[in-house]
Chain A
Amino acid sequence: MAKETANNLVETSDYIGHHLVNLTYGWCEKTSSWGFAHHQQDISKSLDSACDVSEMGFWAFHIDTIFMSVFLGVLVFGFFGLVNRSAKKGTPGKLQNFVEFIHEFIGTAVSAGYHGTSKLIAPLAFASCLWILSWNLMDLLPVEMSNFFGQAGSGINYFKILPTADLNAPLALAAVVMVLVTYFSINTHGLGGFLKELFIVPLGPLEFISFVSKHVALALRLYGNLFAGEMIFILIAIMFGQFFMSFSQTLWFFPGLILNLAWALFHILIVALQAYIFMMLTIAYLNLASSKH
């Protein structure tokens, strides 16, 4: 009994660990070569690297994050592009209605929150909101699905389908926002004005910390919410999975089922809300940067 529990614990922590590792392609210092992290894929021996994920340095790419985010981006923006191309000025069809609704929704948010003249803000808000939303929706797919298909078919043993749960992706978005905020601030107040605002007025260097942390928080808020959501899905999946481990755990099936359903329903809210919040904050920061106080 004790041994079984210990085994279970090892399996559980393995399971969680497995779900938190990205499919990584990077530079291995030991062998001085590029390759996938050790044992992450069974496609080709020549692609396998001697290094584990933790042994790879900065020069590593999360292939799953990049693939999923670009794939979803092509899907979403391709859809909008195609509908736009066939859009008519007269009475719109159903698809066009849908696209126009989203366009109007974001357009309204932008015109309410941003009072400057830049034509970049609306497309930026549109792109960030829809891209993040498409990422977040991946969280509603069963946590076990990507691994199941990966191991069954392609020989890929690690695959995280949720780009938002990889800090790199939200941080990249926030970095773009930060660069734009800096650009607009300098544009409005001049370089001197911006630096003065950043380091002197009104709270000295605290302003700089606030400026940086504001944008880091923008990324961490999104990342944290979705990562936590994913984590809870994993924990529920473990509880659910006890059903298959031993007969004595059969009863876990029902609370697992209910919890999974409840959390998924609640998560639909978070998924949409976090995308919306990111967009609104982007608009607000850029508005603040381009208005004279």
Chain B
Amino acid sequence: MNINATFFAELIAFCIFVFITYRYIWPSMADILEARRIEIADGLEAASQSKRQLEEAKEESLKIVEGAKSEASTLINQAGIRADQIVDEAKTQAGDEAKKIKESAESDIQQSANKAKDVLRDDVAALVLAGAGKILNKEIDEKANKQIVDDLINEL
């Protein structure tokens, strides 16, 4: 253990190594670590942001689905109402039609009946006249008795 000039050599060597570390080793590694730190922070930030976006998108999609559902149910309701309306309309139409057909049929029947009545009346008149003529054995003046016969027929 003797102190000698080695001390100065070590002193200079230490100063040089500290300078090298100060100038070349420490800052470059610090820069790299800092750059990586920022990169990681950015990555984490981006991840949380995309997570948030995903959350928002999920909510959005839920809303859309919800909207679509309610729209569909209103559509179904409307369709049901419309169907009921159509059925009702068809019913009334059918009823009207049926009524009309019935009425026309009735009037037809009436007409036919009237016609038949007329024919029958004419036939009866003719028959009556023929019968009466035979009974009286003479020609009944049609024109003279026309009024009587018609009254008779009308009473039928």
- Which A residues form the contact surface with B (CB < 8 A)? 22, 24, 26, 53, 56-62, 65-66, 69-70, 73, 77, 80-81, 84-85, 87-89, 92, 99-100, 103-104, 107, 119-120, 122-124, 126-128, 131, 163, 166-169, 171-173, 175-176, 227
| A173-B4 CB under 8 A given contacts A77-B21, A103-B30 | no
**Chain B, interface residues (CB within 8 Å), range:** 20 to 34
Give chain B nearest CB distance to A200 CB in angstroms.
30
Instruction: Enumerate the 3 nearest inter-chain pairs by beta-carbon distance, A residue then B residue, closest first.
Output: A172-B10, A123-B22, A168-B6
The reply to whether A172 and B11 contact each other, CB–CB distance below 8 Å, is: yes
The reply to whether B26 and A126 contact each other, CB–CB distance below 8 Å, is: yes
Considering the chains assembled together, what is the distance between the CA atoms of A53 and B4 in angstroms?
11
The reply to whether B18 and A127 contact each other, CB–CB distance below 8 Å, is: yes
Considering the chains assembled together, what is the distance between the CA atoms of A99 and B18 in angstroms?
17
List 13 additional A-B contacts (Cβ < 8 Å) besides A66-B6, A87-B28, A172-B8.
A58-B4, A59-B4, A69-B10, A84-B24, A99-B29, A100-B29, A100-B32, A126-B25, A127-B17, A167-B2, A168-B10, A172-B13, A176-B15
CB within 8 A of A87: which of B3, B18, B20, B32? B32
Give chain A nearest CB distance to B16 CB in angstroms.
8
Q: Which residue of B lies closest to A80 (CB)?
A: B25
Chain A residues, Cβ within 8 Å of B9: 61, 66, 168, 172
Give chain A nearest CB distance to B3 CB in angstroms.
6
Q: Which residue of B lies closest to A89 (CB)?
A: B35
Chain A residues, Cβ within 8 Å of B86: none
CB within 8 A of B18: which of A84, A85, A89, A123? A123
Considering the chains assembled together, what is the distance between the CA atoms of A22 and B9 in angstroms?
15
Considering the chains assembled together, what is the distance between the CA atoms of A56 and B3 in angstroms?
11
The reply to whether B21 and A123 contact each other, CB–CB distance below 8 Å, is: yes
The reply to whether B10 and A81 contact each other, CB–CB distance below 8 Å, is: no
Considering the chains assembled together, what is the distance between the CA atoms of A175 and B8 in angstroms?
10
For chains A and B in complex, what number of residue pairs have CB atoms within 8 angstroms?
A: 126
The reply to whether A176 and B13 contact each other, CB–CB distance below 8 Å, is: no
The reply to whether B4 and A171 contact each other, CB–CB distance below 8 Å, is: no
Which residues 70-125 of B sit at the A interface, judged by CB distance below 8 A? none
Considering the chains assembled together, what is the distance between the CA atoms of A167 and B22 in angstroms?
25
Q: Which residue of A lies closest to B31 (CB)?
A: A89
CB within 8 A of A73: which of B8, B13, B35, B39? B13
Q: Which residue of A lies closest to B15 (CB)?
A: A176
Considering the chains assembled together, what is the distance between the CA atoms of A88 and B30 in angstroms?
12
Considering the chains assembled together, what is the distance between the CA atoms of A66 and B10 in angstroms?
7
Considering the chains assembled together, what is the distance between the CA atoms of A131 and B11 in angstroms?
13
Q: Which residue of B lies closest to A103 (CB)?
A: B29
Considering the chains assembled together, what is the distance between the CA atoms of A70 and B11 in angstroms?
11
A-B contact pairs, 7 of them (CB 8 A): A66-B6, A70-B13, A73-B13, A100-B29, A127-B14, A168-B7, A172-B13
Considering the chains assembled together, what is the distance between the CA atoms of A77 and B11 in angstroms?
17
Considering the chains assembled together, what is the distance between the CA atoms of A175 and B35 in angstroms?
36
The reply to whether B4 and A89 contact each other, CB–CB distance below 8 Å, is: no
Q: Which residue of A lies closest to B23 (CB)?
A: A123
Q: Which residue of A lies closest to B1 (CB)?
A: A167
B5 touches A (CB below 8 Å)? yes
Give chain A nearest CB distance to B22 CB in angstroms.
4
B44 touches A (CB below 8 Å)? no
Give chain A nearest CB distance to B32 CB in angstroms.
5
Give chain A nearest CB distance to B7 CB in angstroms.
4
CB within 8 A of A176: which of B6, B11, B26, B39? B11
- Pick from B6, B13, B25 the residue with the most CB of A within 10 Å: B6
The reply to whether B6 and A77 contact each other, CB–CB distance below 8 Å, is: no
The reply to whether B13 and A66 contact each other, CB–CB distance below 8 Å, is: yes
The reply to whether B6 and A81 contact each other, CB–CB distance below 8 Å, is: no
Chain B residues, Cβ within 8 Å of A123: 18, 21-22, 25-26
Q: Which residue of A lies closest to B29 (CB)?
A: A103
The reply to whether B13 and A171 contact each other, CB–CB distance below 8 Å, is: no
| A131-B17 CB under 8 A given contacts A60-B5, A61-B4 | yes
Q: Which residue of B lies closest to A169 (CB)?
A: B10
